[in-house]
Amino acid sequence: MSISHYSYKYGHGSKEFSLESDRVIKEVTVAKMPLLEDVKAAILDAVYHPIGSAPINELVKPGQKIAFICNDPTRVANSFVFMPILVNEMNKLGIKDEDMHIVFALGTHRNMTHEEMVEAVGAEVAGRLKMYNSDAKVSEDFEYFGDTSRGTPVWLNKHICHVDHVIMTGTIVHHYFSGYGGGRKAILPGVAAMETVRVNHSFMLDPNAGLGKTVGNPVYEDQMEGVAMFAKNHSVFLFNAILNAQHEFLKIFAGDYVKAHQEACKFVDQVYGVEIPQAADLVIASCGGYPKDINVYQLQKTMDNAWCAVREGGVVIIIGECEEGSGSKVLEETCKRLGTADAIKADLEKHFEIGANKAFAVTRLTKKAKFILVSSLDKELAHDMLFEAVPTVEEALAEAEKVIGNDYNIILMPEGSLTVPLLPA
């Protein structure tokens, strides 16, 4: 019997474990794609030869004002690499530093500290441009653009409303209910008010809201409609990068926020979509370390991807530190108060609340399989969210065997927040 040894990312470190080699039927990893050899050249090529849009030098005129939308710390974007290049290029096109600013797309996440802002975009850019948190709870920071056909009130941050161009930056991965990240999400939910996000995200309860799905997905379509209401009278330019699991640049897409994003999503499917031979008895998945496992709120994306690879009645072991706990008091309180996925869904259908929606996202997965976290998370808190928390992979395996016995197969997902397992058609 041969033994294989593994080291999977966990927080800022790793967790080591060993398995019988013949149990492992697949290790799901991001497709091996060539890296961009010259990232700066690729960035400039993308903005001067954009998809579905005039090149940046035909759009931007001297003396104009520009707002950049950048990711918050929960999403790896490498903004510190591309922002200095983009800002310096704007200077060459006649835009002064004082006529540019950055708005961080927090959605409903906590505000960033100044140090986090500097880390995100780099000290050079942070020292030159004004930077703002888009705090969804500060109602006076938002301007109204009307309601979508589904009834979402479109309130967007004032710091993107009075400029000549909005440049939406970020990266794209699959998203568990809005199809894909990136693109329009920089604006909605990124720099939208709480009520805008709340109503839009309520459509996640619809069975057509799902991972990798855009057509017929009410969340995606509502976001697109809301952003179109803004873009009708504003210049919006997309700049999205695709990274591998090591946060290295694979490709950059820029231009029209609809057309460029559609092309980027096709590439995302090639990079992150991975065929598996069958659903496994046991799935072991790492979120990929910090910040993807900073809390349960972020770790849930890995749970969703791992869910795709496990059989009904199987077990999923998630390796994720959760140094910030659940990431949402509302998530915790909803799970504790209602106790089951069905009760949480029924409550959300009566009144949809941000944070409570994450309680549904987490607990609904446990109807298919048992989830065990290798985590620093409080055991009682984990139990409230319908999974177990143990400190080591060995303990998790022992718990898993109580459910699936000793004769089982395994799918491994070392890059679980990125990879989407695909069963044979």
Q: How does DSSP assign 105-146, residue by residue?
A: E-TTSPPPPHHHHHHHH-HHHHHHSEEEE--TT-GGGEEEEE
For residue 218, name the pLDDT band (cuts at 50, 70, 90).
very high
pLDDT of residue 73: 84
User: CB of 244 within 8 A of CB of 250?
Assistant: yes
Q: Judge residue 259's burial from the number of C-beta atoms within 10 Å of its C-beta, 0-12 exposed, 13-18 middle, 19 or more buried.
A: middle
pLDDT of residue 351: 94
Q: What is the pLDDT of residues 43-56, one digit of tens each?
A: 999 999 999 999 99
Q: What is the pLDDT of residues 164-191, one digit of tens each?
A: 999 999 999 999 999 999 999 999 999 9
307 vs 316: CA distance, rounded Å: 7
Q: What is the pLDDT of residues 340-396, one digit of tens each?
A: 999 999 999 999 999 899 999 999 999 999 999 999 999 999 999 999 999 999 999
Q: Judge residue 5's burial from the number of C-beta atoms within 10 Å of its C-beta, 0-12 exposed, 13-18 middle, 19 or more buried.
A: exposed
pLDDT of residue 312: 98
352 vs 206: CA distance, rounded Å: 13
pLDDT of residue 75: 80
pLDDT of residue 425: 75
pLDDT exceeds 90 at position 1: no
Q: Which of 69, 228, 221, 222 is closest to 145 using CA atoms?
A: 228
Q: What is the pLDDT of residues 105-153, one digit of tens each?
A: 999 989 999 999 999 999 999 999 999 999 999 999 999 999 999 999 9
pLDDT, the chain, mean: 96
pLDDT exceeds 80 at position 243: yes
For residue 213, name the pLDDT band (cuts at 50, 70, 90).
very high
pLDDT exceeds 80 at position 292: yes
User: CB of 318 within 8 A of CB of 372?
Assistant: yes
Q: Judge residue 340's burial from the number of C-beta atoms within 10 Å of its C-beta, 0-12 exposed, 13-18 middle, 19 or more buried.
A: middle
Q: What is the pLDDT of residues 293-327, one digit of tens each?
A: 999 989 999 999 999 999 999 999 999 999 999 99
Q: What is the DSSP letter of 55?
A: -
Strand partners, 102: 68, 131
Which domains can be identified in the chain, with CATH numbers? 3-28+276-422 (3.90.226.30), 39-271 (3.40.50.11440)
Q: How far is CA 416 from CA 304, 307, 411, 413, in A?
A: 9, 10, 11, 5
